[in-house]
Amino acid sequence: MRANYRKVCSWSAIALSAGLIFALVAIGWMVPALAQTVDSLQAQQNLAGVKSIDYLRVSMSALAGLTLFIYGVTRLAQGLEYVAGERMRNWVSRFTSNRFVGVLTGTVATTALESSSVTIIMVIAMVSAGVLSFVQSLGVVLGSNIGTALGAQIIALEINLYAPLLMVAGILFHFLGKQEFQKHLGLVLLGFGLLFFGLDVIEDAMVPFRGHPVFLSWMQKLGDQAMLGALVGAVFTVLIQSSSATVAIVITLASAGMMPLSTGIALMLGAEVGTCADTLVATIGRGRPALRTGVFHLLFNLVGATIGIAVAPQLAKLAILASGTGGVGRQIANAQLLFNVVSVVVVVGFLPMIARGLEILLPDTTTEQVQQIAPASAEGAANHEKALQT
């Protein structure tokens, strides 16, 4: 079991690394094309009397922060795989007796593992292996969205100042610890520290844009045109292979006064769709049940984000009310939590119908049908029908 889960985390780490490399290549490819735009912006700044920005230095600093952040996420995942991975896998396989328990299980697992992608890829692997049924997996997928939003609440606490303490504690545990548990606990602390330190580096790199009219105008445009903002959020999430990273960066920039609430919500909704890319990749080569789980994740997030874009102004008002005196970063985190909780509450009641619809759309192959019937056809059919009803 641990070997299977280690495979899941390894593939997630590879996906994150590949996304980072792809982002670097994309940035390198775009630099010549952006040069003329930068020159034009600098000319506008000189005419308007705005202080010139060293775009190369800002880009390299922001990229360094992003690298630290993603490396921290991978170290965190590696440490959590040992500390909590096997427990989470057993917990997921045991506590999915009905859709409501499945939602709670997905929420706890994603909060503990700090990644909805890892949770859903793990679930897809379990469905493919026959440990979980397709119907049981749906509640876990819904819960993973709530777990992601809870992770954003931690980012909104703005504890970046204490990141070096976490990194020092992590290094000490990892190198001085005598037991494997202590060493991997050190990786967890180091990962958390690098995560927050990376966000701090990104925030410092973006300081020249604070109050910059062109940048703020572009940020406002992404908020006014929510569909465009969502598209940017989705593409960025596909590049770095982590919706949590996208939302964390959005919250950081918003907390620094460089992004309005409307833009943060649009980017957050896009990130919800972009995170489906790696889970769909995880279904390649697996059976129809696993594919149905990946397709459900995509449809749920895509339909939800589309509705979210349509009601974005109302969502922003609710987030402001729920945040009290909290800043824009806290409002974005609360908007994501409100959006995901409401989405899950609305959909969870229709899971049996959705499951039947997906089974019609993506039926089992002949081989899979034979494998299901062979062991105990009457008992298997009864269990499947019970899962659809609960």
Residue 306 pLDDT: 94
> What gap in Å lies between CA 256 and CA 246, rounded to an integer?
16
* Contact in structure between 251 and 155 (CB atoms under 8 Å): yes
- Over residues 147-169, the mean pLDDT reads 83
> By CB neighbour count within 10 A (0-12 exposed, 13-18 middle, 19+ buried), where does 163 fall?
buried
Residue 311 pLDDT: 93
Whether residue 197 is predicted with pLDDT greater than 50 in this model: the reply is yes
Mean pLDDT of the chain: 78
Residue 151 pLDDT: 81
pLDDT band at residue 29 under the 50/70/90 scheme: very low
- Over residues 330-359, the mean pLDDT reads 93
Structure tokens at 376: 């105990």
pLDDT band at residue 127 under the 50/70/90 scheme: confident
> Which of the pair, 383 or 207, is modelled with greater confidence?
207
Residue 233 pLDDT: 92
Residue 157 pLDDT: 74
Whether residue 339 is predicted with pLDDT greater than 90 in this model: the reply is yes
Residue 121 pLDDT: 82
- Over residues 362-390, the mean pLDDT reads 55
Cα 227 → chain centroid: 19
Residue 334 pLDDT: 94
Residue 40 pLDDT: 53
Percentage of residues in the chain having pLDDT higher than 90: 25
Alpha-carbon distances, residue 255 vs 165, 234, 277, 295, 304 (angstroms): 22, 21, 28, 34, 26
- Over residues 178-199, the mean pLDDT reads 86
- Of 65, 122, 51, 37, the C-alpha closest to 88 is 122
Whether residue 106 is predicted with pLDDT greater than 80 in this model: the reply is yes
Whether residue 8 is predicted with pLDDT greater than 60 in this model: the reply is no
Which range among 9-23, 148-162, 202-216, 293-307 shows the weakest confidence by mean pLDDT? 9-23
Alpha-carbon distances, residue 354 vs 48, 61, 299 (angstroms): 56, 46, 11
The string of pLDDT tens digits covering residues 224-282 is 888 999 999 999 888 877 788 889 889 988 988 888 999 999 999 999 999 888 888 88
pLDDT band at residue 5 under the 50/70/90 scheme: very low
pLDDT band at residue 302 under the 50/70/90 scheme: very high
Contacts of 341 (CB under 8 A, 6+ apart): 146, 149
Residue 111 pLDDT: 81
Collapsing DSSP states into helix, strand and coil, what is residue 376? helix
> Which of the pair, 36 or 275, is modelled with greater confidence?
275
- Over residues 62-70, the mean pLDDT reads 85
pLDDT band at residue 115 under the 50/70/90 scheme: confident
The pTM assigned to this predicted structure is 0.75
Whether residue 350 is predicted with pLDDT greater than 70 in this model: the reply is yes
Collapsing DSSP states into helix, strand and coil, what is residue 156? coil
The full DSSP string for 224-245 is HSHHHHHHHHHHHHHHHT-HHH
> Which of the pair, 369 or 90, is modelled with greater confidence?
90
- Over residues 156-179, the mean pLDDT reads 84
Alpha-carbon distances, residue 269 vs 141, 278, 388 (angstroms): 17, 17, 29
Whether residue 26 is predicted with pLDDT greater than 70 in this model: the reply is no
pLDDT band at residue 131 under the 50/70/90 scheme: confident
Whether residue 307 is predicted with pLDDT greater than 80 in this model: the reply is yes
Which range among 162-166, 261-265, 319-323 shows the weakest confidence by mean pLDDT? 162-166
Residue 321 pLDDT: 94
Residue 380 pLDDT: 45
The full DSSP string for 276-345 is HHHHHHHTTTS-HHHHHHHHHHHHHHHHHHHHHHHTHHHHHHHHHHHHTT--HHHHHHHHHHHHHHHHHH
Structure tokens at 36: 């003329």
